Amino acid sequence: MSNNGNRKRGAPPSGRPYKVRKPRKHHSEDEDSNDSSVSDQGQEPQREPSPLPDEPTEKLPEELLKTFYKNPGTLMIAGLVSWDLVAKRDNNPSKKTHPNLYTFHKFTERKYRLIVSGCSAGHSILVSDEGEVYTFGRNTCGQLGFGDTTTRNVPEAVPTLKGFNIIQAAAGRNHSLFVTDTGTVYACGDNKSGQCGLGNTTPQILKPTRIRYTGAPIVKVGCGAEFSMILDCNGALHSFGLPEYGQLGHNTDGKYFLTSTKLSYHFETIPKHIAFFFEKSKDGHVTPIKDVVIVDFSCGNNHTVAIDSSKRAFSWGFGGFGRLGHAEQKDESVPRLIKYFDSHARGVRSVHCGATYSLAVNELGALFMFGQTKRTGEANMYPKPVQDLTGWNIRSVGTSNTSIVIAADDSLIAWGVSPTYGELGTGDINKSTARPKEVSRMDGLNITQVAMGYSHTLLLSDDSSEEVKTKLASMPTFDP
């Protein structure tokens, strides 16, 4: 459904920001650069936006809020913790501020009810039982929200969000989104592509700032590398940021030629509703799907997979290595139904996107993978069951650049091929594994949540039982 009939030479529509890009260097999609893989930036003078109405004071319904209030747990961490080296080619050991953690370590005394990172992120977001936000990690664009660009090695409370009850959050490569209990969204960090949703492309937003959105309350947010996705309480998705591969779902990749040799992009700098969903038959016939109500979604670097109230899965964005699950590598600029789950398996219960791959858990609890988790070798062009996890009760899934960590039953299962940085927690001898492997030292720790960044893993352990408390007491502590 990609609309590549791009605008020829000439200025963008009035008031729409654009960016000028030099031809891309061919480097791996997951590598980070401080300038978010962009070069020169061109931008039209932007009109002064109209002021936002007052922030809503009415809280989301109590029954809905309760679903966000998980039991607080003890935080653990593993992986690369020299935050300024995350996703850098220059892994000069002399620049390491801390050795990699090859096993899980307890981290801070405070307990948290929510842990968040992202498959391209070198930073993390934590929410305490009271709804207070703490952030730590890489801060090159102000994504931690402290008004500066200084890296934080330990979680610190974000002053701007003090007094708010944060129920949900998301982390992109260098930007962050936070949702309050009124369904209001705040953003900070890299905004060169408009991914903070403020109606401009001011390069860095150093403190959490309310996004320019006045629709129904937001109940979930997600971040790709340089784009953002928000879901309102009525099941409508809205997206903003970089449209380069169709990942915003608006039937365009946003490209146009500024001159005969300079390619530019029209960014969405404020949330825009994704209105069209479709299915495609084998002979290429397109049928619109009406009245889609989205209930959950997950973003990879440049793609998104979403589930609707009928337990159908849709995907769009960058199609390389089959990560969209359509048995082809074509980019999709509009949400397309993944036919596999309509025919081969029961409905989809949850979706989890890594940088270049997607995971889905069906109604029967079976795990499916599509896309590519390694830099070379074969890719799954359509969803294939992960046989090693057959019969396991999957509780929480973490997806990173190339690794996967899953809490299932009372165990932790991890896999990822080299290079890994300790994020699997399997020790410094067997750092990587191509097949799912039980992390035996984590058995019986009652892991309730898993979150992964580019090269680190966070876990929450419910230590309400004496048995778990005793096990945790014998674990090492990370004290940077």
Q: Which domains does the chain have, with CATH numbers?
A: 18-28+37-46+59-473 (2.130.10.30)
Which residues, including other chains, have CB under 8 Å from residue 134's CB and lie 6 or more apart? 110, 112, 125, 126, 127, 128, 155, 156, 157, 158
Question: What pLDDT is recorded for position 342?
Answer: 85
Question: What pLDDT is recorded for position 47?
Answer: 58
Q: Phi then psi for 28, rounded to 5 degrees?
A: -65, 145
Alpha carbons 232 and 190: distance in angstroms, whole number: 23
Residue 369: CA count within 13 A, CB half-sphere: 25
pLDDT tens series, the chain, 480 aa:
444 444 443 444 444 555 544 434 434 555 554 444 443 444 444 556 678 888 889 999 999 999 999 999 999 999 999 999 999 876 666 678 999 999 999 999 999 999 999 999 999 999 999 999 999 999 999 999 999 999 999 999 999 999 999 999 999 999 999 999 999 999 999 999 999 999 999 999 999 999 999 999 999 999 999 999 999 999 999 999 999 999 999 999 999 999 999 998 999 999 999 999 999 999 999 999 999 999 999 999 999 999 999 999 999 999 999 999 999 999 999 999 999 998 766 799 999 999 999 999 999 999 999 999 987 778 999 999 999 999 999 999 999 999 999 999 999 999 999 899 999 999 999 999 999 999 999 999 999 999 999 999 999 999 999 999 999 999 999 999
Alpha carbons 352 and 306: distance in angstroms, whole number: 9
Question: What pLDDT is recorded for position 376?
Answer: 76
Question: What pLDDT is recorded for position 346?
Answer: 78
Question: What pLDDT is recorded for position 89?
Answer: 75
3-state DSSP percent of the chain in helix, strand and coil, to 5: 10, 40, 55
Question: What pLDDT is recorded for position 36?
Answer: 44
Which residues, including other chains, have CB under 8 Å from residue 170's CB and lie 6 or more apart? 116, 118, 125, 176, 177, 221, 222, 223, 228, 299
Longest dimension (CA), the chain: 69
The helix/strand/coil state of 316 is strand
Question: What pLDDT is recorded for position 91?
Answer: 60
Question: What pLDDT is recorded for position 139?
Answer: 99
| DSSP assignment of 137-160 | E--TTSTTSSSS---EEEEEE-GG
CB burial readout 392-409, b (16+ within 10 A) else e: bebbbbbbbbbbbbbbbe
Alpha carbons 40 and 440: distance in angstroms, whole number: 49
CB of 230 closer than 8 Å to CB of 178: no
CB of 17 closer than 8 Å to CB of 43: yes
Tell me whether strands 218-223 and 101-116 are parallel, antiparallel or unpaired: unpaired
**DSSP H or E run through 97:** none
CB of 394 closer than 8 Å to CB of 375: no
Among residues 354, 356, 325, 353, the alpha carbon closest in space to that of 340 is found at 325
Alpha carbons 66 and 463: distance in angstroms, whole number: 21
**Considering just the CA atoms, what is the radius of gyration of the chain in Å?**
21
Alpha carbons 427 and 93: distance in angstroms, whole number: 19
Question: What pLDDT is recorded for position 55?
Answer: 87
- What are the structure tokens assigned to 162, written together? 């003090």
- Would you say the C-alpha torsion 339, 335, 119, 176 has a positive or negative sign? negative
Question: What pLDDT is recorded for position 93?
Answer: 66
Question: What pLDDT is recorded for position 17?
Answer: 55
Question: What pLDDT is recorded for position 168?
Answer: 99
Amino acid at 377: G
Alpha carbons 84 and 91: distance in angstroms, whole number: 10
